[in-house]
Each structure stands twice: as C-alpha cells, then as structure tokens.
Structure 1
C-alpha cells in the first residue's frame, strides 16, 4: 500500500469525546436488533417449541435489512470517530455492528424465562443457554465482519479522494471529505 504523505513517528493525542465508545456501540446494537426482534421470536419458537415456520422469503428480507443496517451503523460510527480525530476505528467498527449479538442473547434469556415453561430442570436451561451463546457468538462474528469490511471500504474511499502535495498539505479534494 502506498501512503500519500510521510507520517510522523510521534503519535498525536486523541481529543476527549463527548460520549464514551461503549455507549455508542450499545446504541448501534439497538438499531440493528430493532430490525430482527419480531422475526427472532418466530425463529426461536420454531426451533425450541416445534412450531412450523413458513415465511422464508420474509426471513430473507429481514436478514438483508439486518446486513444493511449493520453496515450503515458501522459507517456512521466510523465517520463520527474520524471526525473526532480517533484513527483507531477498527474494533469500534466491528463491535458497533456486532453488538446486536448481545441483544440477541439477552432476548434468548427473556424467551427462556417467559416462553419456555416446559423445560425439565436446570440441565435443559443450561443446554438452551449454551446453544444461545454459540448462536450469539456466530451472529457477532458475522455482523461484526460486515460492519468492519464496510467501514474499511468507506475509509479507503474517503481518503483515496484526497490529493496531498509533497509538503503534506491538502492540495485539493475530489469527492466527499
């Protein structure tokens, strides 16, 4: 990769932010979870209560909406971090869209308490929570990867449209900056 300017070996101090990063990440997770929470009830009912699930087309639409919302939320949070001169956006972009998994796991606990009345003892509950945790980790890895890759392409596009002269000063810009 060719960098357009010489970089300094001395790191700059990142200015203090108005909101902590973990609060923004949790807020991003609520937006993503809002796209799937109704469908999640039907999926859990079909898996754990033996009910039939017929609307796979609608499930595909909800899945595509989840991917789009995760990508958009991650790009917005990355842009907010870049505007605040925080260049360490990688894991924040991953966690911003991957935090939907926390809400999925909390919803599965809610489903265990209020909807799964017929479990036979604590072993069944532990098995259910183990499977729910595995599903939540898989959701975090997949949605976090979508958010990170989208933010990576966004940052590359954003900084590829800026021309810099030999002294390191912005000469002119082309496109959104």
Structure 2
C-alpha cells in the first residue's frame, strides 16, 4: 500500500506517456516530466520514512527490505495500470501481446529498482528520528 500515493500523484502523466508511446508521438514536455519525477521521489521518500518510523515504533527492526518494498511497490501499480491500458488497446496476435508485456515488464522492473533506492536512503532519516525520540524518552 505504500506506493499508492506516489502512483496516484503521477497517474495523469503515466497515462499521457502511454498514449504518446503507443501512438508513436514524441513527448516534448521534459521540464514538466522532470518536475513530476522530483515529486515522485519526494512522495516515495516521505511514505517510506513514515512507514519505517511506524515499524520501528512497533519494535520491528527488519526495516531495510520493507523500506525498499514500500516505495518500490509503485511499480506494481504501474503494472496494473499497464494491464488495464492493454485492455483498452486493440492488439491482436501473440507476438504483439508478448512484445507489449515484455517491454512493460522491463519498464516496471527498472521503475521498481528506481523507486526503491530513494526509499531506503531516506528511511535512514526515519531511523535517526526514531533513535532521537527513544533517547529523549530515556532521558525524560
């Protein structure tokens, strides 16, 4: 569920990108794309820090992989969107279907790794906040 917020913020751009790629058009709004990319990184990081903090408060210290999966779960929603978009297309033939899902899986895997890394890096911040809160409780 951690990737739902970042995907929800980028759904409109995702749909525009899919339409441009499918209709063989160029995407010219690279400044807007970069801005949305920054928003994606920020929302992935914030969702991961929050979830990591909750795990640490519950004394669950296996936060490394969960922080990676929290932010990279956005790729799962991207795959679900790609399957939904495929149902709207009129693709016939096994080869075309395999090409679509092959390239989609490559894109989703890269997106999975790409959004997971900022989550792990920023979850270290949540760990520092948790350790500061615990040390304040020990003193007070």
Aligned residue in 2 for 1:148: 120
Write the distance in 2 (CA, Å) between the matches of 1:121 and 1:163: 62
| Alignment equivalent of 2:101, drawn from 104, 107, 129 | 129
Q: Which runs of 5+ in 1 are unaligned?
A: 1-26
Closer, same or farther in 2 for the Cα pair 1:122/1:63, shift >3 Å?
same
- Give deviations 1:54-78, integer Å, cap 9, x for gaps: 2211111111110000000000000
Q: Which has the higher helix share?
A: 2
Number of aligned positions between the proteins? 140
The Cα shift of 1:163 comes to 5.5
Aligned residue in 2 for 1:64: 38
Write the distance in 1 (CA, Å) between the matches of 2:86 and 2:94: 12
Higher radius of gyration, 1 or 2? 1
The Cα shift of 1:153 comes to 3.3
2:19 is equivalent to residue 45 of structure 1: yes
Write the distance in 1 (CA, Å) between the matches of 2:26 and 2:66: 38
Give the ranges of 4+ consecutive aligned residues of structure 1 lying more than 6 Å apart after TM superposition.
Answer: none
Write the distance in 2 (CA, Å) between the matches of 1:64 and 1:35: 11
Q: TM-score, normalised by structure 1?
A: 0.72
> Of the two structures, which has the highest relative contact order with CA contacts closer than 8 Å and spacing of 6 or more?
2
Q: CA RMSD in A?
A: 2.0
Closer, same or farther in 2 for the Cα pair 1:81/1:157, shift >3 Å?
closer
2:48 is equivalent to residue 74 of structure 1: yes
